[in-house]
Structure 1
Amino acid sequence: MYAILDIETTGGKFNEEGITEIAIYKFDGHTVVDQFISLVNPEREIQPFVVNLTGINSNMLRTAPKFYEVAKRIVEITEDCIIVAHNSEFDYRILRTEFSRLGFEFERKTLCTVELSKQLMPEQDSYSLGKLTRALGIPVSDRHRASGDALATVKLFKILLAKDLDKQIIQDAVKAEPKYKLSSNHKHIIDDLPSITGVYYLHDSYGKIIFIGKSKNIKNRVNQHFTSTTPKSKKMQSQIAAVTHEATGSELVALLKESAEIKRNKPSFNRSMRRNLFTHALYSFMDENGYINLKVDAADGRKKAITTFSNYQSGKQFLLNVIDKFNLCPKLVGLDTTKKACYKYAVKECEGACFQEEPSADYNGRVQNIIINNSFDQQDFILIDKGRSLDEHSVLLIENGVFQGLGYFNLNYQITNKKVLESIITPMDHTRDTLHIIQSYLRKNKHIKRMELTL
């Protein structure tokens, strides 16, 4: 649990500042579950430059509560939470100073979104809250007021959680949570999980991730882990202390994050998924008569594949589909080995490419169409799918045929070119597995929107 906050102060000498406004949003990693926003009477003068910056003046604060009147609420809302702030060193110091004046020791773990942004988004030109929110398309209202800045920090922190493929933030949070203890009764864990699409993480009592999975219904899938009686499941059940999750909205995003994060984190119970996800691939070659042939064969990293398949049967079904859709010859895709004309020719569903009756240029044009539609070679485009909420979409960036990464954007924020995309995209490795996941998903799901990129 996190307490994401922002504080406005009077300004002045170091450790002599007073709080004029405070906003705290209690955030469970997905949604805000509680909040506290209040002006505070600092019982001291406000520096003129601060008045100009925030618009908060002494007249506004005359009837505001003094710090000791809100201190109890601050303690309650931040209890068992990690404090998150943009430049947390400043906000945490101010809070500790105010509590110290009351004779109270205030101690919390902290996270700084400035430092996290530098680690996870090293390409940014500036790490000020204003410039970061503009670059990432985060809408901000009431800039330089505690509530507006704290809410912007919530949205920034949500992006940082998604960009943290090593999952260090959530592992540290689980380790710090006092409520997580090993228990034979996992019902309380299941009750807290949502029935949504996303990636889930099983943690041991030290916070370490021991298993990563994806599902269109996280609650049901995790419940299956807890009720399974296989030796592997029983061993895993004995080690699980907590389950965290990340909503993705899109099943394609969940598949990509699951694959990438398993390879980065190497959870002990995910050994089987560290291997390649496919065994067969589609290749093309020109025969002696000038016709482009297609063939599904065992995957070979030395040869350039058009697309890949989980097994031979999937590849064969793909060929059967394109034979019907593009009027191809079964002999020229390796599914008819007879020496005579193919079985499609007799029913006039093949134009005779199998014995050079159809011009090769006509036939090859249809085959090239298949190759282009199923290969990303040297293409620049984005794929747009569901987001985590109604006002959001997920986006995947393919540049020069290479998968660059994924991210989310608000529907009110227009994606127009590569430069804008680079700010919201979480960079991910382009591997044969990621390419397989994307191409395989697109073959089965036609609702994904594809848009060509502009410079």
Structure 2
Amino acid sequence: MYAILDIETTGGQFNEEGITEIAIYKYDGHEVVDQFISLVNPEKPIQPFVVKLTGINNAMLRSAPKFYEVAKRIIEITDGCIIVAHNAAFDYRVLRTEFRNLGYDFEKQTLCTVELSQKLLPEQPSHSLGKLVRALGIPMSDRHRATGDAMATVQLFKLLLQKDVEKEIVKSLIKTESAKPGMAPRLKDLLDKIPSVTGLYYIYNENSDLIYLGKSRNIKKRLNQHFTSPSRKSKKLQREAFTIQYEETGSELIALLKECQEIKVNKPRYNRALKKTDMPWSLYQGVDANGYLTLSIQKTDGRKKEIMSFTGQVEAKSALYKVVENNRLCQKINGMDPGARTHCFPYELGGCNGACMNQEAPADYNARVIEFINANSFYNQSMIIIDRGRAIDERSAVLIEKGVYKGYAFFNLNYQVNKIDILKNILTPMENNKDTKKIIQQYIRKKKQLKILRF
């Protein structure tokens, strides 16, 4: 049995919010079997922004019952039920606080439809109640009122239950406590306001000093790790975190690039200072006596144009083997098979077209080498890297002009960005350095699905 509920509050300081409206629908897994809906006099003023959001004002609540007058009915309708809500941790915490003020310990198992929808509907770009029900075609009225939000949650929960045929996911997400193990309620409240999106997060102390910033493909999950980890740095963040801000980027590449620059600029107390990127080994192009282009790992030489650089020799050699294998190049031509045979070993396995025996024309062989170089070298190249945006109808773009990283932008799919001059009109300028170059090169190598426009 489930008690699907929504609570509207006065807003205000943590654990000092008062309930202004509550709606509870008792649901047996098939239909609603009971309901309770009521305004509540919180005996404290409502924050102005809440009045604007919900339409509930102080005058409306003067004659409404106080919480102690509806407490018995809440206990009765939730008896034997799992509490279900969209962002259940918030509603359950506020409800428990009200009961605690009456000297009653209200303890229930909880189930959050945000977490449930993230598991069962991972393709949805947003798991906020409003956007989720619109995307699923669930009718909704009285948005930001307890009855409207609670009924929409009933319909959403019904759909999610149908998707989880074995009910294994539902069972795994049922919680017996209001807060995650090892996390203080204050931190839990901070975490509740953070979405599960790709981007950057900024942690500030009570004096509004930025003490830590980071990036993640799931900001909420990463912050949860900070707030539950027993490590020394995490303990410091747990003690000092007062407010959190975030910036959604959609693109992991933009998050990496912004993190790199902002740590250097802001120097947050608990971020390690970025070390100077030392890449002593590089991949260079050459040509042999027969006219075949060669690739070789050498000590980095600032006077020569490298294709890509590496922090270690092992990493460099491993990368070269993959390049040769993926592009059907010849190990012997590239100095990787020094044996006495006239051909390289991959030729025997069909992995080489026979350039080592002059069976492949240099022009055909070199075309593949040049294609690889053009896809990975920055020198004098101009390109736009198209990646995910912050919404379904948005994309991100990173601009590299003549080998220099210029910045990034977001654009709507209806707005075609196919020329550098067009992109420059909406570009956010960024600093170019060795670190950004390495970040972009590594990201391109890993993310094969990227769309890259070259000029």
TM-score (norm 2): 0.54
Secondary structure of the structure 1 residue equivalent to 2:405: strand
Q: What are the within-5 Å matches in structure 2 for residues 185-334 of structure 1?
A: 185-271=186-272, 273-276=274-277, 280-297=281-298, 299=300, 301-309=302-310, 311-334=312-335
Distance 2:256 2:381 in 1: 22
Within the candidate set 360, 363, 366, 1:364 is matched to 366
> 2-side partners of 1:281 and 1:184: how far apart?
50
Quickly say closer, same or farther: Cα 1:187–1:334, change in 2 above 3 A: farther
The Cα shift of 1:194 comes to 0.8
Letter in 1 for 2:428: T
8 Å CA contact retained: 2:190, 2:243: yes
Counterpart of 1:440, as a letter, is Q
In structure 2, distance between residues paired with 1:438 and 1:291: 29
Alignment-mate amino acid for residue 255 of structure 1: L
Distance in 2 of aligned mates of 1:277 and 1:227 = 34
* Letter paired with 1:196: V
Deviates more, 1:379-388 or 1:357-366: 357-366
Q: 1:24-45, CA deviations, whole angstroms, 9 ceiling, x for partnerless residues?
A: xxxxxxxxxxxxxxxxxxxxxx
- Partner amino acid, structure 2, of 1:430: N
Report the equivalent of 2:453. 451
Separation in structure 1 between the aligned mates of residue 357 and residue 413 of structure 2, nearest angstrom: 54
Equivalences, count:
278
Deviations 1:148-198 (A, max 9, x none): xxxxxxxxxxxxxxxxxxxxxxxxxxxxxxxxxxx8841111111111111
Kept in 1: contact 2:210–2:268 (CA 8 A): yes
Q: Does 1:429 align with 2:431?
A: yes
Q: Secondary structure at the match of 2:432?
A: coil
Q: Read off the aligned partner of 1:240 and give its amino acid letter.
A: A
Q: CA deviation at 1:199?
A: 0.8
Report the equivalent of 1:415: 417
Q: Retained in 2: the 8 A contact 1:323–1:330?
A: yes
- Pairwise CA distance, 1:296: 3.5
Unaligned runs of 5+ in 1: 1-72, 80-182
Q: Which amino acid aligns with 1:256?
A: L
Q: 2:48 corresponds to which residue? A: 76
Residue 375 (str. 1) matches residue 377 (str. 2): yes
**Aligned pair in 2 of structure 1 residues 419, 343: CA closer, same or farther (>3 Å)?**
closer
Are the aligned partners of 1:407 and 1:425 in contact in 2 as well (CA < 8 Å)?
yes
Which whole-Å CA distance do the structure 1 matches of 2:431 and 2:330 have between them?
A: 37
CA deviation vs aligned residue, 1:386-418 (integer Å, no higher than 9, x gap): 111222211111222322110111233333543
- From the superposition, tell whether residues 333 and 243 of structure 1 become closer, same or farther in structure 2 (CA, over 3 Å): farther
What is the CA-CA distance between 1:351 and the residue it aligns to? Answer: 4.1
In structure 1, distance between residues paired with 2:248 and 2:234: 24
Percent of aligned pairs sharing the same letter: 44
Alpha-carbon distance, 1:430 to partner: 1.8
Residue 434 of structure 1 and its aligned partner are, at CA, apart by 1.4
Once the 2 structures are TM-superposed, how far is the Cα of residue 381 of structure 1 from its aligned partner? 2.7
Shift of 1:308: 3.3
Deviation at 1:355?
6.0
Over 3 Å counting, the alpha-carbon distance change for 1:267 and 1:297 in structure 2 is: farther
> One-letter code of the match for 2:414?
N
Q: Distance in 2 between matches of 1:188 and 1:248?
A: 23
CA-CA distance at 1:358 after TM superposition: 4.7
Question: 1:231 Cα deviation (Å)?
Answer: 2.2
Looking at structure 2, the residues matched to 406 and 285 of structure 1 have their Cα atoms a distance apart, in angstroms, of: 34
Say if 1:277 and 1:433, in contact at 8 Å, map to a contact too. Answer: no
Opposite residue 249 of structure 1, the aligned amino acid is G
C-alpha distance in 2 between matches for 1:279 and 1:208: 37
Residue correspondence of structure 1 range 101-140 to structure 2 within 5 A: none
Match of 1:33 in 2: none
The CA deviation at 1:265 is: 1.6
Q: What is residue 138 of structure 1 aligned with on the other side?
A: none
Note closer, same or farther for the CA distance 1:263–1:337 as it changes in structure 2 (3 Å cut).
farther
In 1, are the aligned partners of 2:384 and 2:420 still within 8 Å (CA)?
no
For 1:399 and 1:424, the matched residues in 2 are separated by 15
Q: Is contact 1:263–1:274 with CA below 8 Å preserved after alignment?
A: no
How far residue 349 of structure 1 moved from its aligned partner, in angstroms, is 3.3
The 8 Å contact of residues 184 and 238 in structure 1, kept in 2 or not, is answered as no
CA contact (8 A) 1:395 1:407 kept: yes
Displacement after TM superposition at 1:288 (Å): 4.9
